[in-house]
Amino acid sequence: MPICFQRHYIFDLMEANNIEYDQILSVDADTIVHPDCPNFFEMTNGKYTVVQIDGSWDWIMRSIENYSNHIFNGFKMPWDQYFDSGFWIVNKKHKDFEKSMTDFYWENKEKLQQIEQTFHNGTEQTPLNFMLHTNNIDITLLPYEYNMNDMHRKGVLDEDLTMTKTGWIYQYNAIPNNKNYEAATYWMQKTYEHLYGKLNDQIKK
């Protein structure tokens, strides 16, 4: 099971470690949150909360089409509600849904792997979009500034760190020439030190 599907064991992980919770945020590792970010936990309205994507719409539409044709029996989710699965917030009423996500993977493992290897349209992100709609799960859709992805294409991932002036949460994906994640590492360290101070100073503390 890819790590992106494993995160849907999130309630099992919390409870196995005796962690009390009201709401839980799952966020990708290639993400930095601005220290002045508003409290997104207060914006959920008690719903499954995600962030509207603004990335490669060619990739998104092809992904929707391929998963629709090969997994979801022709159902077409509303493309204008598509989100990036690198940020989502859940609460206890979503436990059954999260279990349905892991069950869905094991029931469709071979077909999911075949689709990913054939069409290269991602692993878990589009199925999660579909599953929320086919299970009629209410969602709260936060604006792009709460999970800014594909920043390089928009020209805001620059030496002036323009994205830190226009949004709150930054995801370092879709960076050209990102061999061995070197480019992402550079930009993440630069952003972190701009917002929080030198890494070496933080480690000493």
d(CA 17, CA 29): 20
The confidence score (pLDDT) of residue 55 equals 85
Q: How far from 80 is each of 106, 109, 123, 132, CA to CA, in Å?
A: 29, 27, 20, 14
Instruction: Determine, yes or no, domain membership for 85.
Output: yes
Q: Tell whether pTM > 0.85.
A: yes
Instruction: Determine, yes or no, domain membership for 186.
Output: no
**Rounded to a whole number, what is the largest CA-CA distance in the chain?**
55
Instruction: Determine, yes or no, domain membership for 194.
Output: no
Residue with token string 């990708």: 28
d(CA 167, CA 36): 10
Instruction: Determine, yes or no, domain membership for 196.
Output: no
Rounded-to-5 percentages of helix, strand, coil across the chain: 55, 15, 35
How many domains, in total, are found in the chain? 1
Instruction: Determine, yes or no, domain membership for 153.
Output: no
Mean pLDDT of 162-173: 96
The confidence score (pLDDT) of residue 204 equals 55
Spatial neighbors of 21 by CB under 8 A, at least 6 apart, are: 14, 92
Instruction: Determine, yes or no, domain membership for 99.
Output: yes
d(CA 169, CA 187): 14
Instruction: Determine, yes or no, domain membership for 50.
Output: yes
Distance of CA 90 to the CA centre of its chain: 13
Kindly write down the DSSP assignment for every residue of 40-83, as one continuous string: GGGGSTTSEEEEE--S-HHHHHHHHHHHHHHTSTT----GGG-E
Mean pLDDT score of the chain: 94
Band (69; pLDDT cuts 50, 70, 90): very high
Mean pLDDT of 179-195: 95
Band (183; pLDDT cuts 50, 70, 90): very high
Provide the residue range defining the domain that includes 79: 3-146
Does the pLDDT of residue 203 top 80, yes or no? no
Mean pLDDT of 74-94: 94
Distance of CA 152 to the CA centre of its chain: 17
Contact (CB, 8 A) for 89 and 23: yes
d(CA 30, CA 32): 7
Instruction: Determine, yes or no, domain membership for 167.
Output: no
Band (54; pLDDT cuts 50, 70, 90): confident
Of the given ranges (13-17, 119-123, 131-135), which has the lowest mean pLDDT?
Answer: 119-123
